Amino acid sequence: MDRPIDGIDGRTEPGPGRSPAGAVPGARIVLDNVVKSFTSAGSAKSVLALKDVSLSIEDGAFVALLGPSGCGKTTILRLVNGLILPDSGTVRVSGKAPAPGPNAGFVFQSFRLIPWTNVLGNVAFALSATRLSGAEKTERARRYVELVGLGRFAEAYPSELSGGMKQRVALARALATEPDILLMDEPFASIDAQTRELMQIELMRLWTMRRSVALFVTHSVDEAILLADKIVLMGPRPGRILEVIDVGLERPRWSYDLRAHPRYIELRNYLWERIRDLVMNDPGSDFYGRDLGVMSSSGRSD
Ligand SMILES: Nc1ncnc2c1ncn2[C@@H]1O[C@H](COP(=O)(O)OP(=O)(O)OP(=O)(O)O)[C@@H](O)[C@H]1O
- Bond preceding residue 16 cis, omega within 30 of 0: no
Average pLDDT over residues 163-186: 92
- The rounded Å distance from CA 41 to ligand 1 centre is 14
Q: Is residue 47 part of a domain?
A: no
> What pLDDT score was predicted for residue 244?
97
- The rounded Å distance from CA 73 to ligand 1 centre is 8
Q: Is residue 11 part of a domain?
A: no
- The rounded Å distance from CA 236 to ligand 1 centre is 10
Q: Is residue 49 part of a domain?
A: no
> What pLDDT score was predicted for residue 130?
86
Sign, CA dihedral 80-85-90-93, equals: positive
Q: Is residue 18 part of a domain?
A: no
Higher pLDDT, 39 or 5: 39
Average pLDDT over residues 275-279: 89
- The rounded Å distance from CA 205 to ligand 1 centre is 31
Round to whole Å and give the CA distance between 201 and 293: 34
pTM over cut 0.90:
no
Task: Name the residue range of residue 130's domain.
Answer: 60-86+101-280
Question: Is pLDDT at 292 greater than 80 in this prediction?
Answer: no
Determine the residue type at 105.
Answer: G
Average pLDDT over residues 162-185: 92
Average pLDDT over residues 65-76: 95
Residue 1: how many other CB atoms lie within 10 Å = 7
* Closest-lying ligand 1 atom to the alpha carbon of residue 75: 18
Atom 2 (ligand 1) nearest CA: 38
**Conformation bin of residue 28: beta by default, left when phi > 0, alpha when psi is -120 to 50:** alpha
* Closest-lying ligand 1 atom to the alpha carbon of residue 50: 14
- The rounded Å distance from CA 51 to ligand 1 centre is 13
- The rounded Å distance from CA 258 to ligand 1 centre is 32
Round to whole Å and give the CA distance between 233 and 271: 8
Atom 27 (ligand 1) nearest CA: 69
Atom 5 (ligand 1) nearest CA: 38
3-state SS, residue 70: coil
Residues 6+ apart with CB under 8 A from 258: 225, 226, 249, 264
Q: What is the CA radius of gyration of the chain?
A: 20
Round to whole Å and give the CA distance between 231 and 48: 22
> What pLDDT score was predicted for residue 294?
58
| CB 217 within 8 Å of CB 71 | no
The beta-carbon contacts of 289-294 under 8 Å, at least 24 apart in sequence, are none
Polymer length of the chain: 302
| CB 184 within 8 Å of CB 214 | yes
Which CATH number is 72's domain given? 3.40.50.300
Q: Is residue 287 part of a domain?
A: no
Indicate the number of domains in the chain.
Answer: 1
Q: Is residue 28 part of a domain?
A: no
Q: Is residue 231 part of a domain?
A: yes
* Closest-lying ligand 1 atom to the alpha carbon of residue 39: 4
Round to whole Å and give the CA distance between 57 and 156: 38
pLDDT in tens, 208-261: 988 889 999 999 999 999 999 999 999 988 999 999 999 999 998 876 778 899
Q: Is residue 46 part of a domain?
A: no
What residues line ligand 1, using a CB cutoff of 6 Å? 38, 40, 47, 49, 69-75, 239
% of the chain with per-residue pLDDT over 70: 86
